[in-house]
Structure 1
Amino acid sequence: MTKEELAKMFDHTFLKAYATDDDFIKLCQEAKDMKAAMVAINSEPVKLCKELLKGTDVHVGAAISFPLGQTTLEVKLAETKQAIQDGADEIDYVINVGKAKMHDWDYIEKEMQEIVSLCHQHHIICKVIFENCYLTKEEIKQIALIAKKVRPDYIKTSTGFGTSGATVEDVRLMKETVGDDVLVKAAGGIRDWKTCQAMINAGASRIGTSSSLKILEEFEQ
């Protein structure tokens, strides 16, 4: 793998509540310089980041119902629609984890189906965030099986705001469950090349991290 190929796996991330325009200007410049896949942001600054990244192939990714996922499907769809109108190229939405804990799989499937369908109507990449730290292995597998049926573009381990982030074990389980039908994004706690490499080896095709520059530096060394 080359440095350029690794950079193309990064969703360069800034999702803090205190993010200002200056933070987004810096984030987008870094993403441009390294030629990252995407900047991962909340939905409000999508317009700004789209403008900052104009003329590049770096995508703007909006996080929906972030980080808790505890909004109604209608609200998630409205936020997704608005983000797409504002210029989002990719959507990362958080499932309703409570419904997953209740094993209301019909709800999880309906939510996934409607958000994925809305994204794909607009040719937008859709990623489904599980938030694995709150789920059992069997629950992770069940949601992955639903994804295998619904076909989002990616399933994703974590928001980075839960009690823990991505684990190699979870990435491997998710990838083994969906096979080649859906890609896997690892996110949360990936701050060095060693961890990043382990996630890739386990089956991750995208890496969500705010430590992209540090990881690339370590990779080069």
Structure 2
Amino acid sequence: MNIKQYLDSTYLKTAEQAGISETESIQMARQFIQEAIHEQFKLIMIRPERVKLAKEMVLEAKSSLHIGTVIDFPEGKSSWAKKMKEAQKAIDDGADDLDFVCNYKAFQKGNLDLVKEEILNCTRLGLEHHKVVKWIIEVAALSHQQIIQLSTLIKNVVMSNFKEDAYNNVYVKSSTGFYVTKNGEPNGATVETIIMMLENASPLAIKAAGGVRTYQEAVEMIQLGVKRIGTSGAKAIADGEISESAY
């Protein structure tokens, strides 16, 4: 198994979050991008303001590395129009994958029409530009019933509005990695939450983000049916080591 082609190497901290200067933050992003190119990972997941940098480095290296970015990150509470504007900028800058944070708080409040509208419009934008679209549902913020319901909602919107050949390019993704849980509970993917997503989002693809820290855990996720794994410890996982990363 070429596990590297399942790994989305991820660096999404701002300079402030990392406790470093802006110059150091750019350098850290460069290191992650260069490592992803060298290790031949599937994708580098980077902040929107770093997409241009990643594109330049990928082109210079003549690499097949894909470039992903997050939209309306990490809370997902902006309007779908604002989400689309941010996504269009990322597309123009060279992003291949668009990972939208679903407005899960609106979903929890029962505002399903708003959620359906953003999924429809933002997914259409991505697919029209031949991009991969992922919807982050933030499993740690949801009950098991809500994970099932939101996964099903996303699936139904996509299946009702797009042709079957689009399904492989739309994912339901578990987590941002930035949600703060109580009592040290997991804020990323777990086997339990991923199984719920797989059972209720199929035939859409699933991305397990956060919580995967070893090669064995990654293989387990892939064997369950996950198509992508998001981690800031991609090299450690690929090398068979334990990732010390929190994501």
TM-score, normalization by structure 2: 0.83
Q: Distance in 2 between matches of 1:190 and 1:205?
A: 14
Q: Show CA shifts across 1:103-153 (max 9, x none).
A: 222211111111100001100100000001111112111111122223361
Q: Does 1:130 align with 2:137?
A: yes
Segments ≥4 residues shifted beyond 6 Å: none
Residue 44 of structure 1: SS of its match in structure 2?
helix
Q: Which amino acid aligns with 2:218?
A: C
Q: Deviations over 1:71-93 (max 9, x none)?
A: 12111111001000111111001
The within-5 A match list for 1:1-221 is: 1=1, 5-18=2-15, 20-54=25-59, 55-151=62-158, 153-162=170-179, 163=181, 164-179=187-202, 181-218=203-240
Partner AA of 1:46 in structure 2: V
Whether the aligned pair in 2 keeps the contact of 1:161 and 1:188 (CA below 8 Å) is: no
CA RMSD, 1 decimal: 1.4
Aligned-residue offset at 1:10 = 0.6
The letter for the 1-side match of 2:88 is K
Offset, 1:178? 2.2
User: Which 5+ residue runs of structure 2 have no aligned equivalent?
Assistant: 16-23, 159-168, 182-186, 242-247
Superposed displacement of residue 42, structure 1: 1.3
SS at match of 1:56: coil
TM-score for the superposition, normalised by structure 1:
0.93
Deviation at 1:201, TM superposition (A): 2.7
Q: Distance between the aligned counterparts of 2:32 and 2:57, measured in 1?
A: 10
1:191 and 1:210 in contact (8 A); partners too: no
Residue 146 of structure 2: SS of its match in structure 1? helix
**How many residues end up aligned between the 2 structures?**
215
Q: 2: CA distance between counterparts of 1:209 and 1:33?
A: 17
Q: Which runs of 5+ in 1 are unaligned?
A: none
Deviations 1:10-52 (A, max 9, x none): 1100001117221122111111111111111111111111111
Code of the residue aligned with 1:38 in structure 2: it is: L
Q: Residue type matched to 2:46 in 1?
A: I
